[in-house]
A and B are shown apart, each in its own frame.
Chain A
Amino acid sequence: MTAAAPVTPAISRFAERFAAHRSAKRRQTGLFLLLFSGAFVASVIIGEVDLARLAARLPNIAAYVARTLPTLRAETLWHDLSEWFWGLDLWLEMLADTVLMAIVGTVAGSTLALLLCFDAAANLARSRAEHFLARRLLDALRSVPELVFALIFVFAFGPGPFAGVIALALHAAGALGKFFAEVVENIAPGPVEAISAVGGGRLEAIRFGVVPQVLPDFLSYVLLRFEINVRAASVLGVVGAGGIGEELYLVVRQFIYSDISAIVLLILATVALIDVGCERLRAHH
């Protein structure tokens, strides 16, 4: 190292600004840590987290999981497996129903989202009021969890898959409508202007100017929603809205341990299968 360079005014100005920037950043981090620890302590108190009780109960979780696992012996493997999955026919039928519920819910939800998304997009809404109302409607549909809708529709339509399908469709419409509207807001305006210039109305502009641009994005969002809906449909049965969840809730409450693991594994396999299928479809297009 040679002797230190002389401190010019520019360097000292830089040093001052660097120090100021650094202390501002530190204040910000300190404030964040304070807020975070405040929220953490409040959550621990309200959430009744008790480390002693936690330590006492943690072994219970391991024991519970261990109890759900069946005894498989090498010499009678086939017999043990068929005993574990004794209800396979019934469960597969219920799983098929679950997937079918997800299909109808996704199709109905996407249709509703498609009808609303052009009004909810700032560039295609006919008025500010229409844009605002469509957005708020989608927000409300999206913010109510499927299970809350399902509780209400089970009361109205009685237990069964129909209540679940409506619940899936309404929530999906809210979530998809928001994504759809964002895609529509990002289109190139040229094709829409071209259709208007040759005398096309709003419907023609949407059909020939917007839809060809947004269709690939819409389809990939619909596929993603279908994957989510399969997972959601698998639990709707807990409130009586059809699908495999009903059977799972039953065996959990009656402590039929080996059935619990069998059904959970079947749900996992179905979800994985659907995910892989959708992944391939997306890669295809």
Chain B
Amino acid sequence: MTAAELAALRRAYPRVFGLAPWERARRASVAVLALAVLGVACWRVAPTAEAFWAGVGRIGFLVGFMFPPSAGGALGALLHELAETLAMAFLGTWLAAVLALPLGFLGARNVLRVALLHFGLRRILDGLRGVDSLIWALIFVAAVGMGPFAGILALAVPDTGTLAKLFAEAIENADRRQVEAVRAAGGASILEARFGLLPQVLPVMLGHVLYFFESNVRSASILGVVGAGGIGLALSERIRINNWDEVGFLILLILATVGVIDGISGRARRAIIRA
């Protein structure tokens, strides 16, 4: 094929050789716009040069001070706060799951057939999970006082929203034929739910709950920063008073705990899915 033939083909079928000019212009303008937004964003958050270099120097120095990590002679107290963190995550997840179960049933389109109620419930659930657990912690600490109880509520509220949504989806996606089979065999509606619906949705729900427990262990470890119980208070105090070896110890402690919980919970989730 000669260059002239190629040029003729290109004229005859421009779309085969590339995007239409307007499509190219559209893509270029989207790219320029995205870069402009990123540029503005970088400019808004960028520190001054001297603040940046001073900060880099300070990080080098404090990472150096983190080694060797040390419990600072308060190992017992720290372990108790770690246990409190796990207890908060456990009870927060449990409370969210218990609250989400009826809400999930109501939120499923095939259970609650009134569109307006369905829409309203979904928006309320969205609202619960749109606010981070730390904001809920701020509010609950102000309302019920400092301590792990505020933390449990702060973890449970946004998770109730998300879990209810996931539960509703699991129920919507369940196979109706198994329910119908129980009904055809003469089962009452409670038996329909027990033998037709529950075996299908329970593994999915348990999987979600375990996943939220893992994520809540992480969240619970920082709620102490605002006084809602757990190991976060110890961490923020040690950072404030510059005890970097203890900060290093606490971070390693959190990392190890999260790792162990993730491992156990991950195995349990895989076992549930296989069963």
Contacts and interface: CB of A to CB of B under 8 A. Distances in A.
Contacts of A40: 90-91, 94
Given A155-B62, A157-B51, A144 B86 contact: no
A267 B149 contact: no
B45 interface: yes
A44 B87 CA distance: 7
A100 B40 contact: yes
Contacts of B86: 43, 46
Contacts of B219: 145
A161 B44 contact: yes
A252 interface: yes
A231 B128 CA distance: 12
Contacts of B51: 157-158, 162
A268 to B, nearest CB: 5
Contacts of A255: 142
B183 interface: no
Interface in A227-272: 231-232, 234-235, 238-239, 242, 245, 248-249, 252, 255, 260, 264, 267-268, 271-272
Interface string A25-55: 0000000000000011011101111100110
A161 B42 CA distance: 10
B41 A104 contact: yes
Contacts of B127: 268
The size class of the interface chain A forms with chain B is 35 or more
Contact of B38 (A103, A139, A153): A103
Of the listed residues B126, B218, B221, B229, the one surrounded by the most CB atoms of chain A closer than 10 A to its CB is B218
B138 A47 contact: no
A46 B87 contact: yes
Interface stretch (A57-65, A112-120, A201-209): A57-65
A11 interface: no
A21 to B, nearest CB: 12
B258 interface: yes
B140 interface: yes
A60 B143 CA distance: 6
Contacts, number: 166
A246 B27 CA distance: 37
Contacts of B132: 231-232, 234-235
Interface in A186-223: none
B38 A107 contact: yes
A160 interface: yes
Nearest to A103: B41
Interface string B87-101: 110110010000000
Contacts of A77: none
Contact of A47 (B142, B152, B218, B225): B152
- Size category of the binding interface on chain B: 35 or more
A272 B90 contact: no
A4 interface: no
A161 B45 contact: yes
B84 A47 contact: yes
B144 interface: yes
A140 interface: yes
Given A47-B91, A252-B139, A104 B235 contact: no
Given A107-B38, A148-B251, A49 B130 contact: no
A156 interface: yes
Given A143-B254, A238-B134, A151 B87 contact: no
B27 to A, nearest CB: 13
Contacts of B46: 162
Nearest to A102: B41
Nearest to B229: A47
Interface in A47-86: 47-50, 53-54, 57, 60-61, 63-65
Interface of B: 37-38, 40-42, 44-47, 51-52, 54-56, 58-59, 62, 80, 83-84, 86-88, 90-91, 94, 126-127, 130-132, 134-135, 138-140, 142-145, 147-149, 152-153, 218-219, 221-222, 225-226, 229, 232, 235-236, 239, 247, 251, 254-255, 258-259
Given A100-B41, A160-B47, A165-B45, 19 more contacts: A44-B87, A48-B148, A50-B149, A60-B144, A65-B139, A104-B38, A107-B38, A144-B254, A148-B221, A148-B235, A155-B58, A158-B47, A162-B47, A162-B51, A162-B55, A235-B134, A239-B225, A268-B130, A271-B131
11 contacts: A47-B88, A47-B229, A50-B149, A60-B144, A101-B45, A143-B255, A143-B259, A145-B222, A147-B134, A153-B55, A153-B59
